[in-house]
Structure 1
Amino acid sequence: MVHPCLRKHTHESSAATGYFLCAPCISQTERNLRTIPGLHQECLHQVSTTSRRGNPTKVSGSRRRDHLNFSVLDARYNILATLESWSEMVAEKLSTAAPERSAPQLARFLARHLQWLASQPPAADFADEIEGLVAELRSTVDPDPTSLHTLIRTCVMENCGGTISALSKSSRNARSRNIECSAGHSWEMHEWLNLRKLMEQQRKGADA
């Protein structure tokens, strides 16, 4: 019995035999999975909005303030969270070990099990989410130059009235930028994932 592909198409497409997706959707999802690691790495160049667009010639002794692009950090966080969630589902259902929590490892794991995923009822959701991740990464790598992505967030430290903004002073070494709150608390860039989780917990607590 022929079933329609569960994804929305301009023209109706039939799912491949034994799958919930048509052959073009399966192929596109595989390409998207193989594209994610490179885009995930490339968007690091956009963490500081002046890192690639600024004038590479700097007058000695001049001071520069780099804008930390929170949307980039959020995008990287969302990519890992989404890939990890699908990978955990696959690992549990197939009784196999989950991959290391990194974009390349998670994407490769999902690509290896794509045929199985395409044969499951949530196949369309999976394909849509992977496509959405690629679109988000591409917009991050090549952002709208008119968008400043300037956000201000309450510091996550207990009893701190400071705010964390998307503006950070660059140090002499451009690779050692920190995320700072107005009261003086500071986090290294690699601590963003943990900081992001604390911000989310804080937001949920405020909404409760």
Structure 2
Amino acid sequence: MKVHPCPRNHPQEIPEIPAAAGFTLCVLCIKQVENNLRIIPALHQESLHHVSPAPRRTNPTKVSGSRKRDHLDIAVLDVRHNILVILESWSGVVVQKTGTIAPHRSVPPLARFLTANLEWITAQPPAGDFADEIESIATELRRTIDPDPGGLNRLTRQCVVDDCAGTITAAPHRAGNTGRSNIGCSAGHSWELREWLTLRQLIERQRKSVGA
């Protein structure tokens, strides 16, 4: 059986990786797109808090023509809408080709649906485009939440559990044989993805206390 190279761009030191047997993508890319799909709902939920950022303090001496107004970040709204459109589009392809029932039109069920059908998707010719788009929207969400290039995209922080020397990364992982994807520290503590917002707040509070 002829082995085809993975169609995605890889680091220059490994420019060509063979696709996994029976798939269009290599094992690394399949795992990457799975991780992105599992973290996207948590990132999408957190991005909601950036739609209406805290207003800046205005000049207290200025009275004429001044008034408080809520401010919506249109760029964040566009990102959130784009996520939904892309996930819904790929889910529609799966539904059309496989005859499965379409998921509810919101990010969490769409992401779960695509994860459940990932084996089928990554065996199809457009799998490279799918992986690229999923990676793109995950990256866009991370940038929306933390524009600092040294922030969430490469988040590695000390574990928030007292007296734990482990480190936490933003990348999710499967927890044993449960099939669930958790965020964990190197010492073994773990949290469900739905707890990510609370966990990140604890991480940021810890970071600020250290820097104080």
TM-score by length of structure 1 reads 0.62
Which residue does the alignment assign to 1:2? 3
Which residue does the alignment assign to 1:190? none
d(CA) in 2 for partners of 1:46, 1:94: 37
The answer for unaligned runs of 5 or more in structure 1 is 56-62, 145-208
Secondary structure of the 2:94 match is: helix
Question: By how many angstroms is 1:65 displaced?
Answer: 3.3
Runs of 4+ in 1 over 3 A off after TM superposition: 63-66
Question: By how many angstroms is 1:64 displaced?
Answer: 3.8
d(CA) in 1 for partners of 2:79, 2:51: 10
1:103 equivalenced with 2:104 (yes/no)? no
Which residue does the alignment assign to 1:117? 121
Tell me which amino acid in the other structure corresponds to 1:78: N
Question: By how many angstroms is 1:92 displaced?
Answer: 0.8
Name which of 16, 33, 50 aligns with 2:54. 50
CA RMSD of aligned residues (A): 1.7
Secondary structure of the 1:108 match is: helix
d(CA) in 2 for partners of 1:76, 1:103: 9
Aligned pairs (5 A) from 1:132-151:
132-143=136-147
1:81 equivalenced with 2:82 (yes/no)? no
d(CA) in 2 for partners of 1:117, 1:85: 13
d(CA) in 2 for partners of 1:116, 1:138: 27
Secondary structure of the 1:96 match is: coil
Tell me which amino acid in the other structure corresponds to 1:73: L
Secondary structure of the 2:70 match is: strand
Kindly provide the CA deviation profile for residues 88-134 of structure 1, in whole angstroms up to 9, marking residues without a partner as x: 10011001111000100000000000010010000000000000010
Question: By how many angstroms is 1:30 displaced?
Answer: 0.3
Secondary structure of the 2:76 match is: helix
Tell me which amino acid in the other structure corresponds to 2:82: N
d(CA) in 1 for partners of 2:6, 2:92: 25
Tell me which amino acid in the other structure corresponds to 2:104: E
The answer for unaligned runs of 5 or more in structure 2 is 58-66, 149-212
Question: By how many angstroms is 1:35 displaced?
Answer: 0.5
